[in-house]
Amino acid sequence: MMFRRLSRGMTRGCQWAAGWLAVLALSGCASYVTSDVIAFNAWSNSASDRDRTFAFKRDAQQQNSIEQRTYEAQLADELSHYHFRQVTPASAHYDVELAYGTHAGSIVVQQPIYTDPWWPGWGRFGPWGPFGMMPTYVDTALPVFVQRLTIRITERESGREQYKVTATTPTARQSLPLAMPYLIRSALADFPLQNGTTRQVRLPADLHKQAAGGAPLSSNEKAAAASAMRDDVPAASPMRDEQSAPAASPSAGR
């Protein structure tokens, strides 16, 4: 009987430990930022570097947005590593659009609850014997925010969509500006991906340290990483009950 109780306690303890790993990730203890990436590709492999000129295309909400310009600067820097050059709209071969926002959700973990009706008559080990007391477990919901970025590249003359990629990552707070450098780097990693690709990209949680094999960091990325990114962008965690956050950022193409 005692062995069965101990086995049950160890099994539940493993579940509790797994749950707390998710909590630690949400509290900033993750060493990596994991993003889910989905890409659709009609890109021509015969396109030359001369064709890779682009200009940003904005919707009405984004026209005078400082946030939009900040993200565009970060994206232009990352695109330059793939031989893209930003030019005036009249000279651009491609239009590049950004859509971004935050969705609120939750993650459920099991936490142990210990009750100890200690009484001296139980002896030196107490009522649970030498193996200690067995806790009960309760489900606890923790808030989580899913940060999302979509990059869309279209031919300016024909309007034909050539590339569309979406990256998402969960964070402990509603902090899209801190997540954006990771989303951009993850979305464009190994550009161009094959059509219909779905994968996960892991990046070090401190972007001021260059990722192995990655391109040099922009000043915007370094500034974002310096702002306690480790407390905001955890490793990927299971989501549920996802819904729109009350203050999502403006985005194109919604």
78-95 pLDDT tens trace: 999 999 999 999 999 999
Domain layout of the chain by residue ranges? 27-116+135-236
Q: What is the pLDDT of residue 212?
A: 32
220: tokens are 């915007």
1-43 pLDDT tens trace: 443 443 444 444 444 444 433 334 444 555 889 999 999 999 8
44-52 mean pLDDT: 73
3-state secondary structure of 250: coil
Q: What is the pLDDT of residue 140?
A: 85
Q: Backbone dihedral region of 156: left (phi > 0), alpha (psi from -120 to 50 degrees) or beta? A: alpha
Q: What is the pLDDT of residue 90?
A: 94
Banded model confidence at residue 221, pLDDT cuts 50, 70, 90: very low
User: Around Cβ 237, how many Cβ atoms within 10 Å?
Assistant: 22
Q: What are phi and psi of 4, to 5 degrees?
A: -65, -40
Pairing verdict, β 94-113 and 161-171:
unpaired
Measured distance CA(72)–CA(76) in Å, rounded: 6
118-149 pLDDT tens trace: 555 555 555 555 555 667 888 888 888 999 99
Query: Using the 8-state DSSP alphabet, how is residue 172 labeled?
Result: S
Burial per residue of 167-190, b for 16 or more beta-carbon CB atoms within 10 angstroms, e otherwise: bbbbbbebbbbbbbbbbbbbbbbe
Name the residue with higher pLDDT: 239 or 75.
75
Measured distance CA(181)–CA(176) in Å, rounded: 9
Domain spanning 27-116+135-236, CATH architecture:
2-Layer Sandwich (3.30)
* pLDDT of 225 above 50: no
* pLDDT of 233 above 80: no
154-172 pLDDT tens trace: 999 999 999 999 999 998 8
- The string of DSSP letters for 11-45 reads HHHHHHHHHHHHHHIIIII-SEEEEEEEEEE---T
Q: What is the pLDDT of residue 238?
A: 35
